[in-house]
Every structure is written in structure tokens, then in C-alpha cells.
Structure 1
Amino acid sequence: MTNDGPLESQQPAFEPDPRKFAAAQFQRANLTLPELWTYYYGIGGSADELVLDAYLNEIVELPPLQVDLLHTAIREITADGT
């Protein structure tokens, strides 16, 4: 008879930090913060440029919808090749 309950709950699930992922994508895209913020704001983002900068530098959190919009902005900008 095995008791897997406590052992399984001690194993942390791997979940990438969305801030680190966004920051890495931002750096790889070779964008300026104003370029990213303008696109992000244009697709419905509501955080200002200062908050976006703080998020990318792991100082503040953003609401999940804003994180999704930021990731969408980065993905769309890099897909366009701009």
C-alpha cells in the first residue's frame, strides 16, 4: 500500500514566471519601451508606460488581462518583424 498524497503535494509544479518571459521576449525583440507601450495600449492595454516598465523589471504585478495583452503585443510585434 502506498501513500502518495503528501509526497505529491510537496512537488512544486513548474510554471514559468510571465514577467521573466515577457522581459526576455521584449529584449529579444529589440524594441523600445515606447514602441511596446504604444502597441500594447492600442490593443486595449490600460497600464501606463511606467507601470509596464516596472512589470518588465519585476517590480510590480499586472492583472491577468493586462499580462495577456502585453504578451499578445510582444507576440504580434515580433510576428510582424517590426
Structure 2
Amino acid sequence: MTKHTEQTTDQHGQHHDQQHGTRLAAQEAGITSRELWWHYYSVGGNGGRFELDAYLEGMYPLPVGERNLIALVLNELIDDLPQRRRAPFVDETPAL
């Protein structure tokens, strides 16, 4: 396996883990994709509602910065609820 293939595999794994964790956190908290998108958009998120829905379903990849912004917004919404699962962040620094 080449270094590029290892990085691509790791990045895909991180993307999947973050997407899956974010989806679970939103579901367990009872936060709808519409509510999440509204808060994400209000703090400067670049994706549309369709892209956010597709991301949460694992069908649309988003850049790390956008995924982390979604995680941040979701965690803020969860903070207003009783203790729940938190959405995971991923380091934006590429592996060497």
C-alpha cells in the first residue's frame, strides 16, 4: 500500500467515523436536520440543506472544516439538552 493510498484510506475512515457519529448524536438528541441546518447556516456554513441531509445519510462528502462546523453547531444544540453523545471532531492537519 502506498503512502497516498494509506492517507486516502485514513481520511475516508475519519470522514465516515465523523459522519456516523454526528448522525447518531443528532438522532439520539432528537435534533432534526432542518434545525441543525438552520443553526449551521446561521454561523456561516457553506452547505445547503440538501447537502447536509445527504452528508448525514453518508451519501455526500464534505470538507473537514464544514464537517467540524456541523459538529460544533450540533454540540452547541446538544449542550442545551440533558447530557447526550457528542459529535466527533477531526484534525485538519494532513498526515505526513
Q: Which TM-score band applies after superposition, normalised by the shorter structure?
A: 0.7 to 0.9
**Which structure 1 segments of 5+ residues have no match?**
1-12
- Give the SS at the match of 1:58: coil
- Runs of 4+ that moved beyond 6 A: none
1:1-82 equivalences under 5 Å are: 17-81=17-81
Secondary structure at 1:17 match in 2: helix
With 15-24 and 34-43 compared, the bigger mean Cα shift is at: 15-24
Partner of 1:4: none
Give the total of aligned pairs.
Answer: 71
Which structure has the greater CA radius of gyration? 1
Which residue identity lines up with residue 67 of structure 1 in the other structure? R
**Matched residues in 2 for 1:60 and 1:51: separation?**
7
- Rounded to whole Å, the distance in 1 between the matches of 2:24 and 2:67 is 14
Superposed CA RMSD: 2.1
**Partner amino acid, structure 2, of 1:52:** L
**1:5-45 CA distance string (max 9 Å, x none):** xxxxxxxx885711101100110110121111001111111
Aligned equivalents of 2:76 and 2:64: distance in 1? 18
Kindly state the Cα deviation for residue 50 of structure 1 after the two structures are TM-superposed. 0.5
TM-score of the aligned structures, taking structure 1 as reference length: 0.77
TM-score norm. by structure 2 comes to: 0.66
